[in-house]
Amino acid sequence: MIRFAARRLGFMLVILAISSLIVFVVGRLAPGDPVQLLMGDLRDPAVEARIRRDLGLDRPLWAQYLRFAGRALQGDFGQSYANPGRSVNTMVAEALPATARLAVATVILAILLGVPLGVLSAVRRASAVDFLARLVALGGMSLPSFVAAVLFIQWLALGWHIVPVSGWGELRHYVLPVLVLLVQPLAYITRVTRAGVLRALPEDYVRTAHSKGLSPWGVLSRHVLPNAAISVITIAGLAFSYALTGAFVVETIFRIPGLGQAAIGALFLRDYPMVQAVGLLYAAIFIGTNFLVDVGYAFIDPRIRYR
Amino acid sequence: MSGGAELLAGPPLPAARSIARRGWILRALRRDRTTVWAGLILAVVVGASLALPEVLPYRYDQQSLDHTFEGPSARHWLGTDQYGRDLLTRLAHGGRISLLVGAITVLAEIFLGGCLGGIAGYAGGVLDEWLMRLTDMMLAFPALLLALLLAAILGPGTTTVIVALTLAGWPAMARTVRGEILSLKEREFVVAARAQGASAVRILVAHLLRNAVHLIVVRATLDIGPIILTEATLSFLGLGVQRPMPSWGVLIADSFQYLQTAPALAVIPCAALSTTILALNFVGEGAAEAMDPSLRAAP
């Protein structure tokens, strides 16, 4: 188990290093000279040379990358181009909580709703619950988040006036964004749980459990669900990624001061340090989630450890 | 319930499957009404997107500021937008763009994924291991983030979207192809071809990839929906198709601020996009089931 985890950890670090290289290249290949951006209308060769030296832009590319990676490891991404005098770190630190809260709330709700729905729909196949679950699954996968946003805003905010359209800070402001973020993860979790349970139901060990007199609930909770859990764990990891990338759209629509909106905004303002910081942070979160999912597998299913 | 019987029967033997495949597809389709209906809807969307811009008397960027926010009429069947542009014309043009981006991306994905997956599966060894590691890495990256970073380098635009979606999409295709090649390459007909002195390229293309075509088609059909969806999302964010060129994502993004006063401007493109993607998903799943009966137990 520990060897397995160590191997995955090594792999994770390699990918992270490659991601940092990609993010560094983004900053260098991107059009526009950062020195010009920082200087604005000022035309002074001496100042320009000094900024260039301060940013380390006068050194060879590999040295620039090492400097970038070294600083990134310490969590330092330098100054924002768009907001002079502000460090990217503060900007990320300000934006992160909103996105993180939305993502965590979404994943928890998606699991709490999706797993029971998937199990029920598999056990009561071809029933009304099953129909509902399949509708949620296929509909959710076909519904882009901004289309879901249009629908929810129309019904809940403009039609029934239950929740405010936008704003941030209070609990009621979470309702619409979380609902919109929830659509796709809920669809995938429901679908995968249903498929996992359907796959486990005809197995011999389930029949054995039934014939030894275990209650239907006992069979489900002790034999069927643990075997369906693997796929649900993968998808829960994926759901977290969905919720984080969904932030790009949802935060833009609902004007939520989170990482997604900050990243899109930075992209249009050519604030590359900010784009790099968010890019690398996201990459680190995705790779970390994948790692946890892999180790989670091995923890639940002993067969994987020995592969 | 028919589900139990299907599960007991299990998937047919591989040899029987390959001989009877064509009959299977037709018979499965005849039973699977949903897929046929979804296919018809898709055909209507494709037909309308291709034909309408040629037939309708408006250009997609033709403004008419005297006729803004008009409801449906004989002149403008779906009404007009905030600049008095004909919504139906823009919707059809948007459909063209979405479908074109989807088609180009899927073709690029088939080429890249097919080549690399084929080589990885056939060559095996270190090359296989590293290529699969690469796909692992790419799969860990969400398409949207990749597109965002690419947009920083290339600038926003349709090309950026196609490149980003291809980069995000090929790993899944490569894995599908590799898996099939791995199981095919030990079969007798490949051994026979090798014994006859066929070159590696010939074996790979004429024998292995050709027998994996059904899987590639299924994978591609399943991929088009998410591709069009991501294109719409990127265009919605302003990173994809650039105005005044319409795409469904652009149409929805632009109508957002008029949601209260002119909801039809948002709802109509939303309906077009969702219907198309839903139909694509149904057709993809139908094709997957028709070509691979073992999938039929899944939802």
CA torsion through residues A261, A265, A268, A274, sign:
negative
Give the pLDDT band (50/70/90) at residue B31: low
Instruction: Tell me which residue has tokens 């560094």.
Output: A24
Judging contacts by C-beta atoms under 8 Å, the chain B residues touching residue A253 are 256
Q: How far is B187 from chain A (nearest CA, A)?
A: 25
Q: Kindly report, residue by residue over A235-257, the tens digit of the pLDDT.
A: 788 788 878 888 888 888 888 88
Q: Which residues pair with A87 in a beta bridge?
A: A79
Q: Which residues pair with B80 in a beta bridge?
A: B86
Q: Kindly report, residue by residue over A22-67, the tens digit of the pLDDT.
A: 888 877 776 666 677 667 677 777 877 887 777 777 777 788 888 8
pLDDT at residue B105 tops 90 = yes
Q: What is the pLDDT of residue A303?
A: 67
Q: Kindly report, residue by residue over A123-172, the tens digit of the pLDDT.
A: 887 778 888 888 888 788 778 888 888 888 878 777 777 777 777 777 77
What pTM was computed for the model?
Answer: 0.79
**Chain A residues 243-262 within an 8 A CB cutoff of chain B:** 244-245, 248-249, 252-253
Which of B42, B144, B256 to mutate: most A Cβ within 10 Å?
Answer: B144
* Residue contact B137–A18, C-beta within 8 A: yes
* Residue contact B1–A125, C-beta within 8 A: yes
| A11 contact B CB<8A | yes
CB B163 within 8 A of CB B199: no
Least confident piece of the model among A12-21, B80-89, B190-199? B80-89
Q: What is the pLDDT of residue A131?
A: 81
Average pLDDT of the residues in B252-257: 82
Top-ranked range on mean pLDDT: pick from B7-16, B33-42, B56-65, B289-298: B33-42
Least confident piece of the model among A80-94, A97-111, B38-52, B216-230? A80-94
pLDDT at residue A304 tops 70 = no
* Least CB–CB distance from A272: residue in B152, B238, B267: B152
| Torsion from C-alpha of B43, B49, B51, B55, nearest 10 degrees | 140
Q: What is the pLDDT of residue B104?
A: 94
pLDDT at residue B198 tops 90 = no
Top-ranked range on mean pLDDT: pick from A206-220, B103-117, B123-137: B103-117
CB B101 within 8 A of CB B246: no
CB B190 within 8 A of CB B208: yes
pLDDT at residue B297 tops 50 = no
| A22 contact B CB<8A | yes
Counting residues of chain A whose pLDDT is more than 90, the rounded percentage is 2
pLDDT at residue B88 tops 90 = no
- Any alpha helices (H) in chain B, and if so which ranges? 2-9, 14-31, 33-55, 87-123, 125-140, 143-154, 158-184, 188-195, 200-202, 210-211, 213-237, 248-255, 264-291
Q: How far is B196 from chain A (nearest CA, A)?
A: 36
pLDDT at residue A119 tops 60 = yes
Tell me how many residue pairs between chain A and chain B have CB atoms under 8 A apart: 122
Least confident piece of the model among A33-47, A86-100, B72-86, B199-213? A33-47
pLDDT at residue A210 tops 70 = yes
Average pLDDT of the residues in B135-159: 80
Name the average pLDDT for chain B.
79
Give the pLDDT band (50/70/90) at residue B2: very low
Q: Kindly report, residue by residue over B32-68, the tens digit of the pLDDT.
A: 677 788 889 989 988 888 888 887 777 777 777 777 7
Between the CA of residue B68 and those of A34, B64, B247, B269, B277, what are the distances in Å? 42, 7, 20, 17, 29
Q: Kindly report, residue by residue over A186-196, the tens digit of the pLDDT.
A: 888 888 888 88
